[in-house]
Chain A
């Protein structure tokens, strides 16, 4: 007799043709992550640095009794500009691990329609392109979509 536990994934906001994105800024550019991949956005938190870890691994954060690994998007994207300000945490849960993507600033949650979507332009730096799943043209700046699964895969395959 097999008894399976089914986890309720909750209602999905699935308006056909549109998707919602949490947006944030890294080095002046606007990025977005599918809201379903984002657990929460948190103000700057004290961070414990990890000697010998890769430079993009900025440290460990205490997120209400859970340990989150903070990933510096500047370093991950190979951007040279470093900000001295404290960074915001975009918390994602990838493969059961809590990962915080460090961003300069947080933008709005944007509802973007499929008509605005375009595949990742070849002109984008490969360091960033490898984590992207597309771009959306909106009235203001272009939103580059980051796929947290791609980030998670990268993190767990790097030695």
Chain B
């Protein structure tokens, strides 16, 4: 038998007897309480009235007998069944008992069965009443919680716009509803308090101006109401003391108020109390989120099984084409598929709430803080109608209050400072929520003083938490991210508002727990902006994937990342793959060089590097096609070399154990067509593991520099040296390959030096000679010094399907520019200008310019003719 939530109170002056009765009551499945005298008993009755099912009292007690005790209880608990225990029951007692409404008499010594039966029989009706009351109370709590959610923003609106009667009428109506409903609680003190609240509102309606003092009183009273209902919902029965707040409400209403007459007319014109923005709530029920989550998980599992059944049916269809039963099965399955899809969508919706439920709490926080710190603040909120999963709402709820407080306290300057720096005195905090693809993006920005990264650097150095060199080399962004580290506070003064260095790390934790991200942008004097990006949780994540094979293993590559499939024949490999110094392979793709990763090599599935062989163009060792996926990672594009590419599949994402997750290259597992488990690759993880993240970072830096520079450098630069002094560079985009040739490979074609390269003549240009001359006269280049090095190093550029080799001394590093190209110096022909690379002044060579000069002297001939010509 499930224990009843109700209490049976037993009163007897003999403790030994009490313990026996208590035992019997518990046996019957009730909660038991006991008191040794009527006074204690009354206190218990008062405290537990809502749960008290019946009272069992001894007749003979010192101080008051059972009847006298009964008389005392009638005032507070007349309806609670009262049972009398007595060793001797007379006729007179029984008659008097009728008068006093005694439910039953029980003989001492007590028999267990008799006690149980009597309690059950005599409390049957009352138990129903109690259950009903509890249900009514619960309903009141849930309804009034919804109503008071609406009150707060209205009160704030009232303060901002005191002459608008619609806010006032709405608040009045809501408070009135709560007051009316509160009757079911049978707690007169709550009803009385609500009455006082309503009184002040009535006064305002009747012409008393909604001064800030009055609104503050209303807000404080509102807080009391909120905590009262919250503690009721937790089942607390303690009496509430409303004296202080009642006084406050009264005094606010008694202030002299000059504007009363004019406002009064307007309030009258406001119309009936039921006109207002709020409409009646649609009927609904409360469902615990836990149950929804379980439901969501089960629905996800159905989808997984549905997909497996689907595969089986397709297999049967292939084996038995045209079989009508199998066809019917397929039709039914499709139907189920549709319904299941709809159900999935609905379940996800079920768990969502409007972001406004979170946002609505913020104006109050800002208002209070703004008054406390004397900083006028304007809070703008947008996108409150976006619906988000409850887990996201919870994370936002925990984070935003803290972040908004930070904004007001640290972000915004005091008005004097704002004024002197030419800003509006009122600071602005902007909060925007939007849904983007599979994420909820929340941005919180202020127009305050911004964060000085150098100040963070100093703070960090003082804290001594990191080695000095590391601090010194930190970028601006890295420094800003430090505010999310535990124990880091930039506040000069620790206030009770914020500045204790706890908080931002917790904000980051609650965001990353949901696999979200938090970013910060800040500009000194202009303000700070935070961006929270939270992935939308799904009951089942289906990743449309491309199945690839590498060294005999199969992997799923999320289609979202796949830009293109490239298949290179051995011939194309020689023209499209390049090896950079350090054996990094690059793919020439649509006029850019993309870093290449070999999946098999990365995962340690092969020993050799097939890529290097392919790129070196060694036809003897490598004569197979290479399949490359051009992939879009978060910060850039790259090529992934795989063995072969198979078909696409909708992979149902299954999460991995943490011990597998740490490899960093898998996003999850899934079931392959044959029922075995397959691994889904994590593209951004591959970028990290493959060590090309650095490449992207440089690329991004170059792009940023490009955006700022008027004569922006394009992409990255390759540095090299010549036999003449100085360092030189060319845009990496202009470089097709690096090659080394034996000196004997250099042929002379008239005045021109050339190398036979890929069955065509490739003119060899000696940059050292060209650039030394006042004007490069490429038509008569001098021969390379006789008796020079046995091999010559060149970089090859491609123009209009032709190759050109530029002889250099050494190939240096690939670097992004740290400054703009300076074109102000007198510069030799064939160069663009000077630039600082790694602190070294570097001459940028104008490859297109040189080639434009060069173009006319190359005969326009088909390749076959060129071969003959070259051999001449």
Contact = CB atoms under 8 A, between A and B. Distances in A.
A49 interface: yes
Contact of B665 (A2, A5, A52, A156): A52
A1 to B, nearest CB: 6
B704 to A, nearest CB: 33
Given A1-B142, A60-B677, A65-B308, A50 B666 contact: yes
A62 interface: yes
Interface stretch (B285-293, B482-490, B722-730): B285-293
A142 interface: no
Interface residues of A, number: 29
B659 A48 contact: no
Interface in A68-122: 69, 97, 99
Contacts of A13: none
Contact of B679 (A4, A48, A57): A48
Contacts of B676: 46, 48, 62
Contact of B305 (A48, A51, A65, A159): A65
A15 interface: no
Interface in A46-66: 46-54, 57, 59-62, 65-66
A99 B323 CA distance: 42
Nearest to B599: A51
B658 A156 contact: yes
Contacts of A124: none
A155 B677 contact: no
Interface string B305-325: 100100000000000000000
A62 B689 CA distance: 27
Nearest to A97: B657
Contact of A67 (B604, B659, B669): B669
B468 interface: no
A97 B141 CA distance: 39
A1 B659 contact: no
B603 to A, nearest CB: 4
B657 A4 contact: no
B233 interface: yes
B138 A51 contact: no
Contacts of A158: 659, 662
Given A49-B553, A51-B553, A53-B663, A99 B288 contact: no
Contacts of B663: 50-53
Interface in B676-694: 676-679, 689
B709 interface: no
Interface string A1-26: 11111000000000000000000000
A67 B679 CA distance: 11
Interface in B43-75: none
B267 to A, nearest CB: 37
Given A1-B286, A48-B676, A156 B659 contact: yes
A50 B659 CA distance: 11
Contacts of A1: 138, 141-142, 233, 286
B606 to A, nearest CB: 11
A50 B263 CA distance: 75
Nearest to B664: A52
Contacts of A69: 656-657, 659-660
B265 interface: no
A60 to B, nearest CB: 4
B364 interface: no
A99 B656 CA distance: 11
B161 interface: no
Contacts of A2: 234, 288
Contacts of A48: 669, 676-679
Chain A CB count within 10 A is highest, among B142, B662, B677, for B677
A51 B657 contact: no
A65 to B, nearest CB: 6
B294 interface: yes
Nearest to B233: A1
A65 B300 CA distance: 11
B677 A62 contact: yes
B662 A159 contact: yes
A3 B288 contact: yes
B654 interface: yes
Contacts of A99: 657
Nearest to A71: B659
B226 to A, nearest CB: 16
Contact of A5 (B234, B291, B660): B291
A1 B136 CA distance: 13
Nearest to A59: B677
Contacts of A51: 553, 603-605, 663
Interface string A145-159: 000000000011011
Given A1-B142, A67-B669, A62 B675 contact: yes
Interface string B444-475: 00000000000000000000000000000000
A63 to B, nearest CB: 10
A67 B677 contact: yes
A72 B630 CA distance: 36
A65 B604 contact: no
A55 B459 CA distance: 44
B304 interface: yes
A105 B166 CA distance: 78
Contacts of A54: 659
B340 to A, nearest CB: 15
A48 B679 CA distance: 8
Contacts of A49: 553
B552 to A, nearest CB: 11
A5 B294 contact: yes
Contacts of A3: 286, 288, 290-291
A54 to B, nearest CB: 7
B304 A65 contact: yes
Contacts of B126: none
Contacts of A60: 660, 669, 677, 679
Contacts of B679: 48, 50, 60
Nearest to B232: A1
B288 A5 contact: yes
Contacts of B678: 48
A155 B669 contact: no
B492 to A, nearest CB: 38
A69 B689 CA distance: 22
A96 B774 CA distance: 76
Chain B CB count within 10 A is highest, among A3, A47, A158, for A3
B560 interface: no
B620 to A, nearest CB: 30
8 contacts: A3-B288, A51-B603, A52-B603, A53-B659, A61-B677, A62-B677, A65-B304, A97-B657
Given A65-B304, A66-B654, 9 more contacts: A1-B286, A5-B291, A50-B660, A52-B689, A60-B677, A62-B676, A62-B677, A97-B657, A156-B659
Which 4 pairs between the two chains have the least Cβ-Cβ distance?
Answer: A51-B603, A60-B677, A3-B288, A69-B657
Interface of B: 138, 141-142, 233-234, 286, 288, 290-291, 294, 301, 304-305, 308, 553, 603-605, 654, 656-660, 662-663, 665-666, 669, 671, 675-679, 689
